Structure 1
Amino acid sequence: MNPEQLLECERVAIEVAIGAGALMRSARSGGRLVVSTKANNTDLVTETDKQVERYVFDSIRRHFPDHRFIGEESRYEGTGSEKGLTSHPTWIIDPIDGTMNFVHNNPHTCVSIALTVGGQPVVGVVYGPFVDQLYAARTGAGARCNGQPISVRKNCRKLCDALVISEPGIGGCRDADARRADMANINAVVWLSHGFRCLGSAALNLCYVAEGAVDALWHFGIHVWDYAAAGLIVTEAGGVLLDTEGGPVDWCRRRVIAASTPELGQELSAALVEHLDYERD
């Protein structure tokens, strides 16, 4: 895609994200939510998740009818049985990232919209409607929050100086071994870092790395719809994305490190004592 086409895709994604945020606010203020579980009792879905995803799909498809779509609730719509990212322009949507927070009226929740081309994110938009923060990036154009440029904290190169964020117990079936691995990693990093946080939304957590509010993140069990948009926002803000073992990130492998500097990313990778693998997206 040329720069003009990317700009148009970003414009549409921003417009649609704001509309999706309005749906989230309306549902939250309307009273009781209809909530059900997916893989386990912490993996939640609401009727609003499904409503927002359908709104996002339909709105974007009106502009780009030939593009493909991947959504958390409908998964690989328009791709047949094929899994993973292809060369085709593909929109990747998480209608409500942080559904647990949404259900509990916690404001740390958002809609995430990414466009990939050639298997790589080229446009990313994340909107937190309850805090009114809209993060956006497109390849080669930097990252912004509410229209203002943002940047990682580039002078943070050591874990002992870093505020680190993660989320234990996400994704898939949480067996006893996985829970022990989560706690082992948290215990290792807590004592090496300047501070540690868990806030409940992978996409917003990554955006906080991008704007320098935290310095590093790791996630196991994450899905491509959780971090395709925000991952691009991190790299366009000057940060790095890595596999948890320190190599290049694989968008479908369901594990990631984000950091303000390469040195910090590699130190965080070395600090993790367990490297979990999940079924690929």
Structure 2
Amino acid sequence: MNREEIQLCYQTALGFIKDAGKILLTAKDIVLEEKAPGDIVSEYDVKVENVLIRRLKMNFPTHKFIGEEESHRKKRISELSNDPTWIIDPIDGTSNFVRGFPTTCISVGLVVNKEQIMGIIYNPFSMELYTAIKGSGAYLNGERIYSKETENIGRASFIYELSLAKTASLRKMYLTRLKYLINEVEGIRSFGCAAMSICYIARGYFESYQCDGLFPWDYAAAALILREAGGYVCDPTGVEFDLLKGDILACCTKKLAEQFVEVVNKADEEWKILP
């Protein structure tokens, strides 16, 4: 896919995403469904995803799609091929959205040859539009943004999604890592919205974010935006970031990420031998 084709994809998707934001701004009498314990979906998740996929398919009929609600219905995540693939989270932070808490967003990423090439994240409530095309920098409402240059974990404000500790298979890992990390970082926050949390690092609000047990749509756009802002993304154990694995460590600098990995690996040695 050449630059002109990528730019066409970007401009086309941008208009659709802004239109989808209007759907969220007019939401009322929200009906909820529980997909799994602690994992809720609203009819607006479904509405926004259907609108985005339908309109993108009309413009790019040969492209593929991985959407959160579509994957839930199929009970599986489609394999990632080399074809242009849109990865869509219609509402990241649904729990925040239904409570009227404005840390929520629409997230759309485009992957070609299994490589992230474009990301758009739009929070219509705060009017924050984060965008990136690979190799062209990251932007907030059209203004270039950069992550911080912090390299000391003791000066890092750390975003940690502790709500995922509700999942029995992840609980020991999360709580053991928390025990180790809380002694190392400057402070801990939790916003319940992966895409916005990573964008907060890209714009320089915070220094680090870590989460296991996510899905590709949670960070398909945000990881690229952070990288284009100068940040660093890897697996929490230090290996190369895998878009489909669901585990991510996002930091403002590589050196800071290396310090987090060291602490995480020590914590993992403990929880893996716990009864």
Partner Cα distance (2:205, 2:188) in 1:
12
8 Å CA contact retained: 1:169, 1:179: no
Write the deviation string for residues 39-95 of structure 1: whole angstroms up to 9, x where unpaired: 21x100000000000011012112111100110000299x9x883311010000000
Write the deviation string for residues 213-264 of structure 1: whole angstroms up to 9, x where unpaired: 1111111111100001000001111111101111110111110101111110
8 Å CA contact retained: 2:199, 2:226: yes
Matched, 1:138 2:133: yes
8 Å CA contact retained: 2:164, 2:171: no
- 2:222 aligned partner: 230
Matched, 1:99 2:91: no
Partner Cα distance (1:82, 1:134) in 2:
27
- 1:191 aligned partner: 183
- Which among 60, 65, 69 is matched to residue 64 of structure 1? 60
- 2:161 aligned partner: 167
Task: Answer 1 or 2: which has greater helix percent.
Answer: 2
- 1:34 aligned partner: 31
Matched, 1:110 2:105: yes
8 Å CA contact retained: 2:71, 2:77: no
Offset at residue 20 of structure 1 (A): 1.3
Shift in CA distance, 103/87, structure 1 to aligned 2, threshold 3 Å: same
Matched, 1:210 2:206: no
Partner Cα distance (2:236, 2:12) in 1:
33
Structure 2 residue identity aligned to 1:163? S
- Which among 215, 234, 238 is matched to residue 242 of structure 1? 234
Identity percentage over the alignment?
Answer: 34
- 2:211 aligned partner: 219
Structure 1: gaps (5+ residues): none
Matched, 1:158 2:155: no
Partner Cα distance (1:127, 1:118) in 2:
25
- 1:10 aligned partner: 10
Structure 2 residue identity aligned to 1:37? E
Shift in CA distance, 58/182, structure 1 to aligned 2, threshold 3 Å: same
8 Å CA contact retained: 1:37, 1:43: yes
The count of aligned residue pairs is 268
8 Å CA contact retained: 1:70, 1:76: no
Moved more, 9-18 or 135-144: 9-18
Offset at residue 19 of structure 1 (A): 1.1
Partner Cα distance (2:86, 2:104) in 1:
20
Q: TM-score if structure 1 supplies the norm length?
A: 0.90
Matched, 1:20 2:20: yes
Partner Cα distance (2:72, 2:171) in 1:
29
Partner Cα distance (2:268, 2:14) in 1:
37
8 Å CA contact retained: 1:165, 1:197: yes
Secondary structure of 2:82's counterpart equals: coil
Partner Cα distance (2:263, 2:10) in 1:
36
- 2:246 aligned partner: 254
Shift in CA distance, 12/118, structure 1 to aligned 2, threshold 3 Å: same
Partner Cα distance (2:72, 2:81) in 1:
12
Partner Cα distance (2:77, 2:200) in 1:
33
8 Å CA contact retained: 1:259, 1:265: yes
Which stretches of structure 1, 4 residues or longer, exceed 6 Å deviation after superposition? none
Structure 2 residue identity aligned to 1:96? I
Offset at residue 180 of structure 1 (A): 2.8
- Which among 74, 78, 84 is matched to residue 83 of structure 1? 78
